[in-house]
Amino acid sequence: MIPSHKRLFGAVVALLLGASGPAAAQQLELKVMAPAAPGGGWDQTARAMQQALVASGVARSVQVTNVAGAGGSVGIAQFVNGAKGDGNQLMVNGFVMVGALAMNKSPVTLEQVTPIARLTEEIQVIVVPANSPIKTAQDLAAAVKADIAKVTFAGGSAGGVDHVMAALFAGTVGADAKKINYIPFSGGGESLAAILGGKVTAGISGLSEYEGQIKAGKLRALGVTSEKRLPGSDIPTFKEQGIDLVLANWRSVVAPPGITPEQRKTLSDAVEKMAKSDAWKDILKQKGWDDAYLGGDAFADFLKKEIVRVTDVLKSVGLVKS
């Protein structure tokens, strides 16, 4: 399937790599696509990679390109069609793209790209206003079971991680996820106002977004979606409270389809080296991101499972027609 000159090129690259060892890695000139406008999470991840790849000496130069549109649907289409077989390109993606592609009936899917590695993740939280009668996750579960339509959840865009989480919460506690009353807001700011103003029952978002308000006592955190309690935090997990809801908003990096196993190895090694570098660790600390490095086949496996899980949830809430 691979054109012969590309195969030849791959062989030459492999030869060069084999011949000159680590010095050859220095010659990497990468292009990283952020399938979003400058400033968002994917863009920041791409620019952080750029910084760390160069600072740790893994690559000689890294160029970040932005292709914005429709939760990454525009970017991935361009990536899959335009970068096919190119062993010097990467694209940042994440949880939200899985849902966006399914909802937009994108002709291009994440099954087509070559998985490289998961890089970061953010734990999700459910909050209520400080004066809410709901004190624990079990209280919320009881309210959801009593009359699901009356419990309003505020969160980010329809089909995004917050929406999926609302549906998973309802499903896990034994209510009909199809009937959740989820109200999407654009960005954390607007939904935060709705929660603080008591317009909705509960709010869902990434933990860092609401951390300031939780510490200031304006919001009460009912639970976080991590497997174990976060270090230094007094917010209980859902699991501790008997609700099996584990979820993270992950970000990862993928390569184009049609690259050779050698090219894949080169890219995987480069990303792994970057993810273990001090430069990357510094950036993570600075941005408050959690290290969630997962490489190789383990990540490919994880990605497959997440696609199935998210698509099932979106089907159950009627956002994706089966």
Partner 1 sequence: MDTFAALAHGMAVAVQPMNLLYALIGVFLGTAVGVLPGIGPALTVALLLPVTYKLDPGGSLIMFAGIYYGGMYGGSTTAILINTPGESASMATALEGNKMAKAGRGGPALATSAIGSFVAGTIATIGLAFLAPWLVDFAVRFGPEDYFALMCVAFVTVSATFGDSPIRGLTSLFIGLALGLVGIDKLTGQARLAFGIPELLDGVEVTTLAVGLFAVGEALYVASRRHHTEEKLEPVRGSLWMTKEDWRRSWKPWLRGTLFGFPIGALPAGGAEIPTFLSYSTERRLTKHPEEFGKGAIEGVAGPEAANNASAAGTLVPLLTLGLPTSATAAMMLAGFQQYGLNPGPLLFAERPDLVWGLIASLFIANGMLLVLNLPLVGLWVRLLAIPQPWLYAGILVFATMGTIAAKPSVVELSMLAAFGVMGFLMRRFDFPIAPVVIGLILGPIAESQLRRALAISLGDPMVLLQSPMSATLLGIALIALLAPFVLKGLGRFKANED
| Site residues for partner 1 per CB under 8 A | 38-39, 43-44, 47, 51, 68-70, 73-74, 77, 99, 103-106, 149-150, 152, 157-159, 181, 183-187, 189-190, 192-194, 196-197, 199-200, 208, 211-213, 215-216, 218, 286-288, 319
- Cα separation, 25 vs 21, in Å, equals 7
The span from the CA of 200 to the CA of 316, in Å, is 23
- C-alpha distances in angstroms, 297 versus 116, 214, 290? 9, 38, 21
The strand ranges marked E within 35-162 are 61-66, 89-94, 114-129, 152-155
- Minimum CB separation of residue 106 from partner 1 in Å reads 8
Angle, helices 95-103/73-82, rounded to nearest 10 degrees: 90
Q: Which is nearer to partner 1, 17 or 317 (CB)?
A: 317
Work out how close the CB of 297 gets to partner 1 at its nearest, in angstroms, rounded to a whole number.
31
- Asked if 130 and 225 touch (Cβ cutoff 8 Å), the reply is no
CB of 40 to partner 1, least distance (A): 9
Identity at 313, one-letter amino acid code: V
Residue nearer to partner 1 on the CB measure, 66 or 114: 66
Q: Using the minimum distance from each CB to partner 1, give the nearer residue, 5 or 321.
A: 321
The closest of 187, 131, 126 to 153, measured between CA atoms, is: 126
Q: Which of residues 38 and 261 has its CB atom nearest to partner 1 in the complex?
A: 38
User: What is the number of alpha carbons within 13 Å of residue 195 lying toward its C-beta?
Assistant: 30
Provide the minimum distance between the beta carbon of 263 and partner 1 in the complex, in angstroms, as a whole number. 27
In the complex, the smallest distance separating the C-beta of residue 154 from partner 1, rounded to whole angstroms, is 9
Q: How far is the CB of 156 from partner 1 (least distance, A)?
A: 10
CB 222, CB 128: distance < 8 Å: yes
User: 90 or 154: whose CB is closer to partner 1?
Assistant: 154
Residue 106 or residue 252: which is nearer to partner 1 going by CB? Answer: 106
CA angle (205, 210, 213) in 5-degree steps:
150
